[in-house]
Amino acid sequence: MKDKKVFKPCDLLIFGALGDLSRRKLFISLYRLENANLIEPDTRIIGIDRHTHDNASFVEIARNSLQAFLNEKMDDTVWSRFSARLSYQKIDLTQLDQYKQLNDVLDTKSRVSVNYFAVSPVLFKSICQGLAKSGVLTEESRMVMEKPIGHDLKSSKEINDEVAKVFSENQVFRIDHYLGKETVLNLLALRFANSIFTTNWDHNTIDHIQITVAEEVGIEGRWDYFDKTGQLRDMLQNHLLQILTFITMEPPANLEAKNIRNEKIKVLEALRPITKHNVEEKTVRGQYTSGYLKGNAVPGYLEEEGANKESTTESFVALRVDIDNWRWAGVPFYLRTGKRLHTKRTEIVIYFKQLPHNIFKDSYPRFLPPNKLIIHLQPNEGVEIEILNKVPGIDENIKIQKTKLDLSFSEAFKKSRIFGGYEKLVLEAMRGNPTLFLSREEIECAWTWIDSIQNAWAKANETPKPYPAGTWGPIAADFLLDRDGRAWEG
């Protein structure tokens, strides 16, 4: 039997341990990993923030967060193992001298320090400098950061430059939580482990591809962040482009991080720029007005708490994207994402080409509908293939109808636990496996493309189109496909 891989225990330092990200996501992910016995027994979790707390009150904060956000009952044994790992250090993150106290806490000989920056990027510079000054960093140390990594290419470079003064690129783990989602990773298996797809995955067989990331939530009290950001930067620059690169990249030589990243970069570099000359025909921006979601009245974007009534920030975006390379020439990609849409749904729909001729005119008088591959990323993970089948019977004519081959992951993999995105990524950061994290180059390529859209919008000076909460976005998003003789998957 192959030996189980042994990973070095960590000192996981959470900078911003009292903040929203820690309370809503990190404690929960770590607790679940504990529950699955996936955290090294000697790993410690050290919360760092500027408020005064002792270990006991920090443990209490973690417990309260779990009680508020964990959708399952806490197990006493798991909690006692988990809470024993927790401790707290008060550091004002802007005061470089205060970081030296970490020398009394960390054990850099037998543990790797994993520095999770769960704070706004404005603090990254001082954390990097404080850590460097304190002398606690070694070549093995890692830093974990997540979006927003800047709001454009320039600011993203500034952040990456600051971090690079202290951490080399192979020590930096940049999170996009979509890359931790089981179904996003399954795209690799689906594409590169199944000959039926590897040989049918280009402009010869595929007509077009749709990617939808629809959210029911609004901006959840994050007006200040979201209004400066908008849906293009908040969701498309990262999550949708990641899905797009996984769907379209060439097969990497193997699953090593550098090979996967290189293939993704090639796709990002091949994205046809959207500029002031084509922005109107290729993009739709929307902003939700008040409406109903699941029967409940919800306010419009401009009525959200703290709203500036004049805001022209988009909460919805739809794009037609073209990839200028050999494989995808002539295949349009339609991407849409928005807040306060009809339902939460993330899916990729691959429309194969129509057959040139129809011999089943009795059941389908005009043309045969194309096959579709639908990959559901959330909420119900699975894969469906829409095919045409003969209706059983002894009729004179062969009647055919659409049928679905439906593979729901929760049914097919009943015994396997499906891990959440954060769980997987936090675990991989602790293990030091960079495969699911983003390189600097990838992020900067994505920003270059997004910046040109943002600039084109600014020049067009166009206000976003209104759509009532609870719908599928502005009607203009339908025209985007209608113009090409297509329609969004219902």
**What residues make contact with ligand BG6 under the rule CB under 6 A?**
177, 215, 217, 234
User: In the complex with ligand BG6, which residue's Cβ is closer, 189 or 217?
Assistant: 217
CB of 215 to ligand BG6, least distance (A): 5
Could you count the other beta carbons within 10 Å of the beta carbon of residue 325?
Answer: 16
Q: How far apart are CA 182 and CA 462, in angstroms?
A: 38
Q: CA 321 to CA 332: how far, in whole Å? A: 6
Nearer to ligand BG6, 161 or 220 (CB): 220
Minimum separation from the CB atom of position 241 to ligand BG6 (A): 13
Minimum CB distance to ligand BG6, residue 378 (Å): 6
Contact 314, 232 (CB under 8 A): yes
> In angstroms, how far is CA 316 from the centroid of its own chain?
16
Provide the terminal-to-terminal Cα distance of the chain, rounded to the nearest Å.
Answer: 48
Helix residue ranges per DSSP H, 232-370: 241-248, 257-270, 279-282
CA separation for the pair 405, 385 (Å, rounded): 5
Angle in degrees, 0-180, between the axes of helices 440-460 and 257-270, rounded to the nearest 10: 20
Looking at the Cβ atoms of 44 and 336, the one nearer to ligand BG6 is: 336
Structure tokens, 459: 């020049």
99, 106 Cβ separation under 8 angstroms: no
Catalytic residue of the set 177, 208, 239, 376:
239
Q: What are phi and psi for residue 29, nearest 5 degrees? A: -65, -45
DSSP state of 314: -
Q: Considering the complex, state which of residue 10 and residue 214 has its C-beta at the smaller distance from ligand BG6.
A: 214
Q: Which long-range contacts (CB under 8 A, 24 or more apart) does 396-403 make?
A: 397/362, 397/363, 398/360, 398/362, 398/363, 399/360, 399/362, 399/363, 400/360, 400/363, 400/364, 401/363, 402/369
Q: Given the complex with ligand BG6, which of 148 and 300 has the nearer CB atom?
A: 148
Compute the least distance from the CB of residue 340 to ligand BG6, in Å. Answer: 11
Shortest distance in whole angstroms from residue 212 CB to ligand BG6: 11
Rounded least distance, CB 177 to ligand BG6, Å: 6
For residue 8, the minimal CB distance to ligand BG6 (Å) is 30
Q: State the residue number with the nearest CB to ligand BG6.
A: 234
Give whichever of 322 and 423 is closer to ligand BG6, judged by the CB atom: 423
Identity of the residue, 83 or 212, whose beta carbon is nearer to ligand BG6 in the bound complex: 212
3-state secondary structure of 11: strand
Distances (CA, A) of 213 to 60, 216, 286, 334, 473: 36, 10, 15, 11, 12
Nearer to ligand BG6, 322 or 428 (CB): 428
Q: Of 377, 347, 121, 335, which Cα lies nearest the Cα of 235?
A: 335
| Residue 376 annotated among the catalytic residues of the structure | no
Q: How far is the CB of 237 from ligand BG6 (least distance, A)?
A: 10
Q: What share of the chain is helix, strand, coil (3-state, %, to 5)?
A: 40, 20, 40
Enumerate the β-bridge partners of residue 323.
271
* Whether the Cβ atoms of residue 14 and residue 146 lie closer than 8 Å to each other: no
Known catalytic residues are 239
